[in-house]
Amino acid sequence: MPDEKIAVVTGGNKGIGFGICRSLASQGIRTILTARDVAKGEIAKEQLKQEGLEIIFHPLDVTDENSIDSLASFSAREFGKLDILINNAAIRKDAGMMGLDVPVEIVREMMETNLYGPLMLCQALAPLLKKSAAGRIVNVSSGMGSLAGMGGGSPAYRITKTALNAMTKVLASEFRGTGVLVNCCHPGWVRTDMGGRGASKSIDEGADTPVWLALLSKDGPTGGYFQDRKPMPW
């Protein structure tokens, strides 16, 4: 179908990314669920199939340039454009650590996944997004990246998410006039492996704002930071 929307979701095998894939696919969007672990990605695809949802799986490790190139080539070959990129994949390896003692290797590793990965994906997929009538980039950030509410603890996670927010504004500015809208969001505290069982939101609730941003109309916002579909302080 020529006007079919195509979406790429990173870290789609579980958690909020899986919820985003389910929501997009159930709204008729051709969704490419990506995961760094092929077996986990195939299981997630099968799970959605059993729910009556057809999705596409493609391997993607967001820290690996060759893996990103392979996804970009696949998307170009199969669809010739991309409508939605959701940078959801992230790691959090510094729980309980403080800025004064966090090993720099951990900060570096988290920057690779939480910042450089999304940046490389935006760069690699920009030509395809510009071919869309309604290109959308959604960076799944965190309230912990907000400078307005910044505190101590989990320093690497906070820094990577603040940097992702900055990247959102930079790219929103650079994409202006192309039809591509770039926004970031805090999904809320969500019951996933990262959020833990005591979190207040379900996976479907966590997926709501990212999916809303992915489907913004052409007069929608760009360069914004949202929670529960409302702007939040940077």
Site string for ligand NAP, 96-125 (x = CB under 6 A): -----------------x------------
Q: Is 37 in the site for ligand NAP (CB under 6 A)?
A: yes
- What gap in Å lies between CA 160 and CA 139, rounded to an integer? 12
- Site for ligand NAP (CB under 6 A): how many residues? 31
**What's the chain's length in residues?**
234
In this complex, which beta carbon is closest to ligand NAP, that of residue 155 or of residue 195?
195
Which residues lie closer than 8 Å to 59 by C-beta, 6 or more apart?
34, 35, 36, 38, 41, 67, 70, 71
Q: Active-site residue 116, yes or no?
A: no
CA separation (Å) from 41 to 5, 24, 206?
21, 16, 20
Q: Is 91 in the site for ligand NAP (CB under 6 A)?
A: yes
- What gap in Å lies between CA 162 and CA 172, rounded to an integer? 15
Which residues lie closer than 8 Å to 196 by C-beta, 6 or more apart?
none
Interface residue with ligand NAP among 61, 83, 94, 208 (CB under 6 A) is: 61
- What gap in Å lies between CA 157 and CA 11, rounded to an integer? 17
Choosing from 157, 175, 225, 226, the catalytic residue is 157
Interface residue with ligand NAP among 9, 16, 137, 171 (CB under 6 A) is: 16
In this complex, which beta carbon is closest to ligand NAP, that of residue 179 or of residue 227?
227
Q: Is 192 in the site for ligand NAP (CB under 6 A)?
A: yes
Q: Are 33 and 12 in contact (CB under 8 A)?
A: yes
Q: How far is the CB of 113 from ligand NAP (least distance, A)?
A: 5
Q: How far is the CB of 117 from ligand NAP (least distance, A)?
A: 6
Q: Are 71 and 58 in contact (CB under 8 A)?
A: yes
Q: Which of residues 120-149 bind ligand NAP (CB under 6 A)?
A: 140, 142
- What gap in Å lies between CA 24 and CA 119, rounded to an integer? 22
- Give, in degrees to the nearest 5, the angle at Cα 88 between 44 and 19: 45
Q: Near ligand NAP by CB under 6 A, which window of 22-30, 125-133, 146-154, 194-202?
A: 194-202
Alpha-carbon torsion (215, 184, 92, 148), positive or negative: negative
List interacting residues with ligand NAP (CB under 6 A).
Answer: 10-11, 13-17, 35-37, 40, 60-63, 88-91, 113, 140, 142, 186-187, 189-190, 192-195, 199
Question: Which residues have a catalytic role annotated?
Answer: 157
